[in-house]
Amino acid sequence: MGVLFPGVTPEALDRQLDELALLVDTAGADVAARVIQRRDSPDPATFLGSGKVQELRDICLAVDSDTVVFEHNLSPAQQRNLEKILGRTAIDRTAVILDIFAQNARTPEGKAQVELALLQYRLPRLRRAGGSLSQQAGGIGTRGPGETQLEVDRRRLVHRIHHIRSELKQIDRTRGVQRQGRERGRHREVTLVGYTNAGKSSLLNALTDADVVTENRLFVTLDPRTRQRQLPGGETVLFTDTVGFISNLPHELIEAFMSTLKSVQLADLLVHVVDGASDDAELQIASVREVLHEIGADAVPELLVFNKADVPGSRARDLAKLHEGSVWVSALTGENLDELVATIGDRLRTGDRVITLHLPLDRGDLLAAAHREGEVLDTSIEDEYVVVHVVLDSVGVARFAEWRAAP
Ligand SMILES: Nc1nc2c(ncn2[C@@H]2O[C@H](COP(=O)(O)OP(=O)(O)OP(=O)(O)O)[C@@H](O)[C@H]2O)c(=O)[nH]1
Ligand SMILES: [Mg+2]
């Protein structure tokens, strides 16, 4: 179910619904019908107008569907009211994406992150009277990694959220220690980002001898893998895969996966993998950049890589010509990988950036280190800080990450 709001073209809504259909399919359900309505603004109580809701109910009966999936986010109240009138489950795009993540989580960390996102999504949706979710039958949007968690009441839900948060923090701390160890080795870090199914994991496998699972499905990778490889110059680079992005990635997921997404914020270079065979390549680039902005990573240098150049009719080569400085490859055949590796080397070597540091007044050692490792442009005193503008290479930027002024 999609609503055509003013300012959105029918073609754009169609594309969104195509993607929603793919998501529903990935979650394991069949799409029985597609319904579109034109509206100026959502109805606060039922999202759609009451006539349309009745019509939707008839369509559901006619095509024998047990769930209505909305492209748009529903408020908890809208969802409840719709379910009452429709007599069947009403969910939004966010619930479908959460469901796919729940099905794909494998490691303890992945499961904990997905559970956290699910609980945060469900908490405001708990029925007030009775407060039990047990009336929700199985089906998409209602599954979780641990079925018992669906039965808990609000208090236990909140308690569980706290518990998972501290568990994730612990995992994050352990990873932080590992990261410091790596940084001491002065290895540059390259993180592969991109729309889901763009070929990030395939590219990691092609660049290193990683053995990461790749599949023609959405959100296959939920746990980042790091593998190293040497560049032609002899320097070792750490490549990290990460979760796929999608347009309107639910904020519950972004928050829950923050520790996983740290490798994006802290990377020296982002290799932004684009499916060059997709008609929506440009839109997907924009969606990925939006998520990068949301997670505070838009200052990290980005190298666009148009993948799947081997697919008949692929626009990977044309797109690479259009976007200056980008590279096309085929992760499948390995074509043009040498050029990609060379470009990554060039970009890492020219990774010098001007950044602003806030150093505590009593840390003359840090100021000395900034002079030693980079080119200090100017310093000034502000409140209890020394404000320093300094040119640093990417290793230096990582080293001073803790002292960077908020952008
Ligand atoms: N023809 C062709 N297919 C590719 C290429 N790269 C990846 N694929 C296929 O595209 C699909 C997705 O690849 P993945 O590497 O799993 O993509 P991903 O970006 O890691 O996806 P998620 O982890 O699900 O977000 C798989 O079926 C791959 O075999 C390529 O260069 N050419
Ligand atoms: Mg993957």
Q: Tell whether 49 and 158 lie within a shared domain.
A: no
Which tens digits make up the pLDDT trace of 193-217?
999 999 999 999 999 988 888 888 8
Domain that holds residue 263: 187-349
Inform me whether the pLDDT recorded for 65 exceeds 50. Answer: yes
Give, in order, the Cα–Cα distances in Å from 370 to each of 186, 229, 257, 295, 367.
Answer: 17, 29, 32, 27, 5
Does 338 lie in the same domain as 223?
A: yes
342 and 250 assigned to the same domain: yes
Considering the domain architecture, whether residues 309 and 213 belong to the same structural domain is answered as yes
pLDDT (0 to 100) of residue 212: 85
Nearest CA to ligand 1 atom 21: 197
**Region 323-331 average pLDDT:** 95
Q: How many beta carbons lie within 10 A of that of residue 299, not counting itself?
A: 14
Please give the pLDDT value at position 133.
39
Cα distances from 212 to residues 220, 227, 240, 322, in angstroms, run 10, 10, 11, 31
Mapping DSSP onto H, E and C, the string for the chain reads: CEEECCCCCHHHHHHHHHHHHHHHHHCCCCCCCCCEEECCCCECCCECCHHHHHHHHHHHHHHCCCEEEECCCCCHHHHHHHHHHHCCEEEEHHHHHHHHHHHHCCCHHHHHHHHHHHHHHHHHHCCCCCCCCCCCCCCCCCCCCCHHHHHCCHHHHHHHHHHHHHHHHHHHHHHHHHHHHHHHCCCEEEEEEEECCCCHHHHHHHHCCCCCCCCCCCCCCCCCCEEEEECCCCCEEEEECCCCECCCCCHHHHHHCHHHHHHHHCCCEEEEEEECCCCCHHHHHHHHHHHHHHCCCCCCCEEEEEECCCCCCCCHHHHHHHCCCCEECCCCCCCCHHHHHHHHHHHHHCCCEEEEEEEECCCHHHHHHHHHHCEEEEEEEECCEEEEEEEECHHHHHHCHHHECCC
* Domain identity same for 245 and 343: yes
- The reply to whether 253 and 374 lie within a common domain is no
- Which residue puts its alpha carbon closest to atom 6 of ligand 1? 199
How many structural domains compose the chain? 4
Q: Which of 268, 263, 266, 274 is nearest to 200 (CA)?
A: 274
Q: Is the pLDDT of residue 332 over 60?
A: yes
Q: Which of 144, 167, 185 represents a domain boundary (last residue)?
A: 185
**Is there an atom of ligand 1 within 6 Å of 213 CB?**
no
Contact 277, 316 (CB under 8 A): yes
- 179 and 297 inside one domain: no
Candidate of 22, 97, 103, 197 to mutate for ligand 1, largest count of ligand atoms within 8 Å of Cβ = 197
CB 348 within 8 A of CB 268: yes
Of 66, 96, 126, the one marking the end of a domain is 96
Q: Is the pLDDT of residue 178 over 90?
A: no
* Rounded CA separation 339/284 (Å): 24
Record the pTM.
0.79
Q: Are residues 340 and 234 in the same domain?
A: yes
Residue bearing the CA closest to ligand 1, atom 16: 214
**129 has pLDDT over 80:** no
Give the CATH number of the domain where residue 218 resides.
3.40.50.300
Work out the average pLDDT over 72-83: 92
> 272 CB less than 6 Å from ligand 1?
no
Which of 168, 185, 202 delimits the end of a domain? 185
Task: Judge if 328 and 357 occupy the same domain.
Answer: no
Query: Does residue 347 have its Cβ closer than 6 Å to ligand 1?
Result: no
| pLDDT interval class at 130 (50, 70, 90) | very low
Partners of 154 in the beta sheet?
A: none
**Is 250 in the same domain as 193?**
yes
- Would you say residue 407 has pLDDT above 80? no
Ligand 1 centre and the CA of 218: distance in Å?
10
Residue of higher predicted confidence among 55 and 406? 55
On whether both 111 and 224 belong to a single domain, the answer is no
Mean pLDDT of the chain: 87
Please check whether residues 226 and 276 belong to one and the same domain: yes
What is the mean pLDDT of the segment spanning 34-49? Answer: 93
Closest-approaching ligand to the CA atom of 244: 1
Using a 10 angstrom Cβ sphere, with 0-12 exposed, 13-18 middle and 19 or more buried, the burial of residue 400 is buried
The residue ranking higher by pLDDT, 25 or 171, is 25
Q: Say if residue 38's pLDDT is above 70.
A: yes
pLDDT band at 128 (very low <50, low <70, confident <90, very high): very low
Q: Is the CB of 133 under 6 A from ligand 1?
A: no
Specify the pLDDT at position 106: 84
| Residue 296, phi-psi category: left (phi > 0), alpha (psi -120 to 50), beta (remainder) | left
Q: How far is the CA of 243 from the centre of ligand 2 (A)?
A: 6
Q: Which ligand is nearest to the CA of 245?
A: 1
Average pLDDT, integer, range 246-265: 86
- The Cα–Cα gap between 36 and 251 comes to 25
- Among 275-279, 297-301, 382-386, name the most confident range: 275-279
